[in-house]
A and B are shown apart, each in its own frame.
Chain A
Amino acid sequence: MLRIVTAVVARDLRLAMRRQADIVSALFFFIIVVSLFPLGIGPEPDLLRKLAPGVLWVAALLATMLSLPRLFADDHRDGTLEQLALAPHPLGLVVTGKVIAHWLVSGLPLAVLAPVLGLQFDLSTEALVVLTASILIGTPALSGIGGIGAALTLGLRGGGVLLSLLVLPLYIPVLIFGAGAVDATVSGLGGEAHLSLLAALTLAALGFAPWAAAAALRIALE
C-alpha cells in the first residue's frame, strides 16, 4: 500500500524536476505578491509587523493555488490518469501520492522562503519560527483540499478561475489558524493552540481529501 504512494511521489517529483521553471515561477509569484504589500501600504515597521502573518499566508494560499491546475491536467492530457485509474491500486492512494508530491514542490519551498520574507516585515525571531512552522504544517491541507478542486475542474473551460472559486472558501480555516498562530505569538499569547488545530486540519485533509478527489476524478473520467 505504501509502495504505490511512494512510487507516485517519486514519479511526480521526477517529472517536476524536469520542469523546474514551473516550481520557480510559483515561488517568485509568492515573493512578488508579498513584496507588493509594503509598496502599497507604506514602510512603517509597526504596521508591517501587524500585517505580516496575514499577507504571507494569503500569498501562500494564492501561490499554492497557482500550481493546482497542473496537479492532474498533464496526466489527463496524455492518458496516464486513465491508466492510473484502471490500475488495481485504490485511486485514493494514487491521489495521496500526487498530493504529497505537490506539497513537496509547492508548500515546502514556501515554508523555506517564508522566514526570509518575514524579515522584510520586521518579524521577531520567535514569530519567524512560528510562521515557518505554521506554513509547514498548514500547506499540506492546502494541497489536499486543492486536490478536490483540481479533480472537479479537470478539463473544464476556465478551469483556473473556477478552481479558485471552489477552493478558496474551503481554505479559510487554514488561513485563520495559520495566520492566527503567528498573530498569537506576536501578541504574546503563544501559538501552540493554533498550530494544534492547524495540524488537525492537515491530518483530516490528508486523510479524507484524496478519496474525495479520487471520486471526483472518476466522475471526470467517465
Chain B
Amino acid sequence: MTDRFNIYRYAAPSAFYPLAGAMVPWFAAAAVLFGLAGLWLGMLVAPTDFQQGEGYRIIFIHVPASWMSMFIYLVMAFWAAIGLAFNTRLSGMMAQALAPTGALMAFLSLWTGALWGKPMWGTWWVWDARLTSELILLFLYIGYMALVAAIDDPRRADKAGGLLLLVGVVNIPIIYFSVKWWNTLHQGASVSLTKSPSMAATMLWGMLLMALCFWMYSIAVALIRVRTIMLERERNTDWVRETLEGDGK
C-alpha cells in the first residue's frame, strides 16, 4: 500500500473529517436523484394493483425503510466489533452516528406498515412475527441510544454500547425465531405477508431505486452526524481548532 492511498490513515478523525465532508454532497445528491427516480417510477409509472388499489404504493417507503432498519443494525454491530477488537476511536463514533438513523428507519417502517395495514387488513396493528420483531428492533435501538447517552466518558460509552450491539446482534435471530414460533402457535387473525403476488417489474425497480435512495440518505446523514461527533469529542485538539478557524468561523 502506497503512502498516497492508505485506508488506515482514515481511521484517524483528523483525516476522516475532511474526507467525510467531501463525500457528503455526493451521497446527498445520489439520494435525491435515486429518490426522484424511485418516486416517479413508484407513484406515476407503476400500475395500480388490482387487489390493493393505490394504497399499495406505500411499500415504496415501507420496504426500503424495513431493509435499512435491519441493515443499519448490522453495520453498527460491525463497527462495534471493529472498535472493540482494534480499539479505534472512529468505530464507536460511526456506530453512534448511525443509531438515530436506524431508529428512524425502524419507526418509519412500523408507521408506514400501520398506515398500510389499516386499509388492507382493516387494523392498524397485528401481532405478526415481522411487525413484532421490527418493534423489538426499535427497542434495541432505543436501548443502545439510552445507554450511550447515559455514559459521560465517551470512550466507555463507545465500548459499552459496542458490547450491547454485539449482544443484540447475537440475540436478533433468537428473538426473530421465537417471535415467529410464538406467532404461528397463536395465529388468531390469519394474515399472511408471505404469499405476496409476484410483482410487476416496474414496481420492483421502483422499490430498488427507493432502497438505493434510503441507502444514500443514511450514509449522507450518518457522515454529517459523525463529523459533528468528531468535532465535539476532539474539541481540544489542534486539528479541530485549525479546521474551525479555516472555515472562518
Contact = CB atoms under 8 A, between A and B. Distances in A.
Interface of A: 148, 152-153, 156-159, 162, 165-166, 168-170, 172-173, 176-177, 180, 183-184, 197, 201, 208, 212, 215-216, 219-220, 222
Contact of B150 (A156, A169, A177): A156
Contacts of A197: 178
B163 A152 contact: yes
Interface in B133-147: 136, 139-140, 142-143, 146-147
Given A156-B150, A158-B150, A184-B185, A169 B167 contact: no
A147 to B, nearest CB: 11
12 contacts: A148-B164, A148-B167, A159-B150, A162-B147, A162-B150, A165-B143, A166-B146, A170-B168, A172-B178, A197-B178, A219-B160, A220-B156
A170 B171 contact: yes
Nearest to B182: A176
Chain B contact surface mostly: helix
Interface string B141-172: 01100110011000110011001101110110
Given A166-B164, A169-B139, A170-B171, A176 B150 contact: no
Contact of A166 (B143, B166, B174): B143
- The size class of the interface chain B forms with chain A is 20 to 34
A152 B167 CA distance: 11
Interface of B: 136, 139-140, 142-143, 146-147, 150-151, 155-156, 159-160, 163-164, 166-168, 170-171, 174-175, 178-179, 181-182, 185
Contact of B163 (A170, A173, A184, A219): A219
A15 B195 CA distance: 57
Contacts of A208: 170
A156 B170 CA distance: 25
A219 B156 contact: yes
Contact of B136 (A152, A153, A172, A184): A172
B59 to A, nearest CB: 27
Contact of A216 (B143, B150, B160, B168): B160
Contacts of A166: 143, 146-147, 164
A173 B178 contact: yes
Given A172-B178, A219-B156, A212 B167 contact: yes
